[in-house]
Structure 1
Amino acid sequence: MALWRVLWSAIITISTLQIGILAQTCDTTVQSPIVFPVRNVTVEGNRMRRGMRFSYGTPEQNVAVAISAGWNETYIYDENGQCSGLASAACTVGRGGAFNEGSSSTWTGLSSISALNSKDNVANNAGSNGLAGRDKLTINSSLSFDQFSIAIPRKSGPDYSTLGLGPSSRILDIAKNASTIASRSWSLFWGQTGLTDAHTNNGAVVLGGVDETQTTGNNFTGAIRPSVYSSCRSGMIVEVTDMVVSVPGGSSGSLLSGGVQGQGVNYCLEPEFPIITMLLDHWNEWEDIDPDAETSGNAVDRAGGGPNVWGLIYPKQNITKASLTITIAGSLEITIPNHQLVQAYYTFNEDGQMAVNNTISELMINPLQAGNANDIPKLGMTFFQAAYLHVNYDKNQYTLWEAANPTGQNSKFAGVGGSSVGCATPSNSTSSPNNGTTSGGSSSNNDNNNSNNDTGISGGAIGGIVAGVVVGILALAGLAFFFWRRKKQARTGPPSETATPLYDMNATQEKPELMGSYTGHSSSGFYTGKPELASNATAQPVPNWMQPQEVPANVVHRPTVEPQELPSQRYD
């Protein structure tokens, strides 16, 4: 046993040395990433919409966009927002703002949306149903792309303006081909949108890199397989092996104990989807654990007239206080705190301003039911307010962490190359790439890969040290295992091989008892019903980012009709 302890100490020491060497080195030739903040964006008419700022045209017009791992093109709505039953201003802000083609001196229109020759089905099939063109995309004062193509939806498209970061992403291809970024990769932390300023923080979208302050601790890496998972546009499927609800000062319990004990459930990562959906069996378990989550006699509606569509609406004083911990593949735990699960319920009034009903709150969970009972559940924006995602198409894989820096402050962004990571730089100096100004998809500087002035340990020396360390660890581990095995008592045979965890997505589900219905939603319109908002609403003391206005308590009704089905597919 003494020998074992000595060997184990040696392994730990050498492993620490190896990690220390790797942590202190970075590749100075790897381009810095492109960083877009996720925050409240001031759009047309001095209105606000949360999202990633997209500055387009000449002069620049700001639009707030979502991030999609399934779309490849960038879809920007213009002043024809294609909303049914909403005032023009409310529609415009709901879509993320509007791009006015006629106000840009550098806009070049294309014959139709199909002229993009896109790999997106909606672009190929829409034909005259959408517009397209090219204009100047401004990243910052030193980086722009003069002829960046966008699609302008008409009858089909995302719920609101969206930056396409799919496997054939136009913006990733352009930036990589111009040597502006080192890899066709991107990362996302959506930030936080809590009920108080303390729980409201900016996020960031990073093209060609990561925020190193977020990527610490345990992680999970999976393959991207969009052709295999047709029901998950992103191709990123995670196996959720547990979901635990924790009520402060009360009970806690697993949601996977009701009929699916010991089995995992496939979830689709969909960053542009506003909330989290879950199987009805699991929601029923939540209600059993947490009485405040019960929908019967408690929840009054489903959100159908606001950005966070499909969430459950509760009286503010009766909503759950629980947090939700999601376990990925039996190894990575990501906890979504209550201050992110429960949000203020807001819509946009006829003037396009945020309007909050202070008598109710929204739980960012949608139990799948009726016609959607067999849909694959989704982890949307709410999940990415607690999780950090890095997607690398050059390696055809994605990696998840629990966000280690939920405030998003003091971030350190580093570029990611083929097999190396660049040197991290502070968040206030990362938007300009190492290669200098890029315009129209070309770099203004020569390749500086051969002019590294770093006088520290050479890459070859570091490689030799690391290789030696690895060999030493393996040798010591083998020797330790030899002595341990000799002392080990005989045990039973190897564990029996188990089948891949599955859940029967075709099982019959019952509807939850909701005391009302939600407004129907279609893929061709942002909302199909207009929320009842007072035109003379007044400001209320809720988070500064929302600039809220009071609305009547009857913004949520209790219709006598049964809950409607969600569309089986959100996009055409």
Structure 2
Amino acid sequence: MFPRPHVVDRAMPFMTSSLVLALGAASVLAADCPSPLSFPITTKQIDPKVPDSFMRGISVKIGTPEQTILVNAWPDLNNTYIYDQQMLCDPSIIWNDEICFVRRGGIYHYEDSKTFSKYNDFASAGGATNEITTTGTELGVKKLLTSSLAGVETLSVGGSDASSVTMPIGIPRLRWDGGYTILHALGLGANSTYLNALSQSKKIPSRVWSYFWGRQWGSGAPLDGSIVFGGYDQEKTIGKNYTQPLDYSESTGCWTGMKVTVSDLVLNYRNGDDESIMPRNSAIPVCIVPQRHLLLEAPGFVIDNFEKATGMVSKGDSFGFYWGGQVYNNTANPS
């Protein structure tokens, strides 16, 4: 058994400009093949009545007439799960319905949609009949298939006709996810019903997808991320390709199939100096989890070394956009 991996998440404010995840089975493109579809990952205000009600994700139009919600990519789910008025936030973390509404990315009213059809279960709706339940997945995943309201609905990423498909969806009826995995879940797993629908409709050249979170902070202007179906954005990549199979087995300890090893973490000071904050000859097994919202759920020694190197002291956890992240003043100047 491998050591339990830590988690590398999707919000990488100082790293993501050079990180693109590309997942799926590549294929050779013929001249008449469709082109990949690219859509922004951006920050949007969820409730116009609440000034700071921002979330970052992928905009989706769903139903008829169209309703707009924000979703995020889940590489370990095959089906797509959309919340309605039963938002099912963890009350020990999300304290009221307004916060829940914002952090879910808005809600979907299936009863107002002319194109929603209810089914008895996922199988009859044409959905995937299994989800990955490797250790580390959200605790409620094992019951999602049997407890969710199953249906078929029209959905388009980015509100684009090019990405519009009629597909099975699930509307959760139990609280299945942790307090930090809060947007609607666009399932992009090995048997993704959304990717299958796009591929069968010949709207994408392959079931490959790639993910770039963008940049929110730093000296430059904010930069939208992107999700690409059917390929990847070559301009967002540097260096040599590295290919490995997606391994969802219990032996890896990584439920998304993307286990990697972090051998070093280096601080780049403004004066040009670099300093490692990992012990010599050490490495951290990590699991890449795009739907999580922090850069790294790191072991304690990494945080301790970061504070020692920068001279900063944590003010506690964030209760804002990156819930649970460490909060620091930006006034320390160790170099």
TM (norm. structure 1) is: 0.46
Match of 2:305, SS state, is helix
- Of 277, 281, 284, the residue aligned with 1:262 is 281
1:136 corresponds to 2:147 = no
Match of 2:199, SS state, is helix
Q: Higher mean Cα deviation, 227-236 or 124-133?
A: 124-133
1:181 corresponds to 2:181 = no
Match of 2:306, SS state, is helix
**Does the aligned pair in 2 maintain the 1:43–1:98 contact within 8 Å?**
no
1:28 corresponds to 2:35 = no
Match of 1:301, SS state, is coil
Distance 1:98 1:239, change over 3 A: same
Match of 1:179, SS state, is coil
Distance 1:288 1:123, change over 3 A: closer
**Does the aligned pair in 2 maintain the 1:187–1:206 contact within 8 Å?**
yes
Distance in 2 (CA, whole Å) between partners of 1:163 and 1:229 is 26
Distance 1:61 1:43, change over 3 A: farther
**Corresponding residue number in structure 2 for 1:40:** 43
CA displacement at 1:152 relative to structure 2: 1.7
Distance in 2 (CA, whole Å) between partners of 1:200 and 1:141 is 24
Match of 2:331, SS state, is helix
Distance 1:321 1:118, change over 3 A: farther
**Does the aligned pair in 2 maintain the 1:109–1:133 contact within 8 Å?**
yes
How far does the alpha carbon of each residue in 1:130-155 deviate from its partner, in whole angstroms, 9 at most, with x for none?
32211111345533545311122232
How far does the alpha carbon of each residue in 1:367-410 deviate from its partner, in whole angstroms, 9 at most, with x for none?
xxxxxxxxxxxxxxxxxxxxxxxxxxxxxxxxxxxxxxxxxxxx
CA displacement at 1:109 relative to structure 2: 1.8
CA displacement at 1:254 relative to structure 2: 1.6
Distance 1:45 1:105, change over 3 A: farther
Distance 1:217 1:315, change over 3 A: closer
Distance in 1 (CA, whole Å) between partners of 2:334 and 2:206 is 42
State which structure, 1 or 2, has the greater radius of gyration over its C-alpha atoms. Answer: 1
CA displacement at 1:75 relative to structure 2: 1.7
Identity, % of aligned positions: 26
Distance 1:148 1:90, change over 3 A: same
Distance in 1 (CA, whole Å) between partners of 2:243 and 2:59 is 28
Distance 1:245 1:146, change over 3 A: closer
* Counterpart amino acid of residue 274 in structure 1: H
CA displacement at 1:64 relative to structure 2: 0.8
**Does the aligned pair in 2 maintain the 1:44–1:62 contact within 8 Å?**
no
**Corresponding residue number in structure 2 for 1:110:** 119
Distance in 1 (CA, whole Å) between partners of 2:261 and 2:185 is 26
Match of 2:183, SS state, is coil
Runs of at least 4 residues off by over 6 Å = none
1:86 corresponds to 2:95 = yes
The structure with higher relative contact order (CA 8 Å, sep 6+) is 2
Distance 1:271 1:132, change over 3 A: same
Show structure 1 runs of 5+ residues with no match.
1-25, 293-297, 323-572
Distance in 2 (CA, whole Å) between partners of 1:104 and 1:246 is 51
CA displacement at 1:99 relative to structure 2: 0.6
Distance in 2 (CA, whole Å) between partners of 1:309 and 1:48 is 13
CA displacement at 1:111 relative to structure 2: 2.8
Superposition CA RMSD, Å: 2.9
1:60 corresponds to 2:70 = no
Distance 1:240 1:315, change over 3 A: closer
- Of 152, 166, 173, the residue aligned with 2:189 is 166
Distance 1:80 1:134, change over 3 A: same
Distance in 1 (CA, whole Å) between partners of 2:81 and 2:169 is 6
Q: 1:326-365 alignment to 2 at 5 Å?
A: none
**Corresponding residue number in structure 1 for 2:316:** 301
CA displacement at 1:274 relative to structure 2: 0.6
Distance in 2 (CA, whole Å) between partners of 1:230 and 1:110 is 36
**Corresponding residue number in structure 1 for 2:290:** 271
Match of 1:223, SS state, is coil
Distance in 2 (CA, whole Å) between partners of 1:68 and 1:74 is 9
Distance in 2 (CA, whole Å) between partners of 1:321 and 1:271 is 32
Distance in 2 (CA, whole Å) between partners of 1:280 and 1:145 is 45
How far does the alpha carbon of each residue in 1:79-123 deviate from its partner, in whole angstroms, 9 at most, with x for none?
221132533222111111101111111111223568644321556
Q: 1:67-78 alignment to 2 at 5 Å?
A: 67-78=73-84
CA displacement at 1:179 relative to structure 2: 2.4
Distance 1:178 1:81, change over 3 A: same
**Corresponding residue number in structure 2 for 1:232:** 254
Distance in 2 (CA, whole Å) between partners of 1:183 and 1:289 is 45
CA displacement at 1:53 relative to structure 2: 0.9
**Corresponding residue number in structure 2 for 1:247:** 269
**Does the aligned pair in 2 maintain the 1:132–1:149 contact within 8 Å?**
yes
Q: Which structure shows the higher helix fraction? A: 1
Q: 1:176-215 alignment to 2 at 5 Å?
A: 176-194=199-217, 198-215=220-237
**Does the aligned pair in 1 maintain the 2:129–2:145 contact within 8 Å?**
no
Distance 1:87 1:114, change over 3 A: farther
Match of 2:79, SS state, is coil
Distance 1:127 1:169, change over 3 A: closer
Distance in 2 (CA, whole Å) between partners of 1:79 and 1:152 is 10
**Corresponding residue number in structure 1 for 2:6:** none
**Does the aligned pair in 2 maintain the 1:64–1:96 contact within 8 Å?**
yes
**Does the aligned pair in 1 maintain the 2:81–2:170 contact within 8 Å?**
yes
Distance 1:282 1:175, change over 3 A: same
Show structure 2 runs of 5+ residues with no match.
1-28, 134-139
**Corresponding residue number in structure 2 for 1:465:** none
How far does the alpha carbon of each residue in 1:444-500 deviate from its partner, in whole angstroms, 9 at most, with x for none?
xxxxxxxxxxxxxxxxxxxxxxxxxxxxxxxxxxxxxxxxxxxxxxxxxxxxxxxxx
Match of 2:304, SS state, is helix
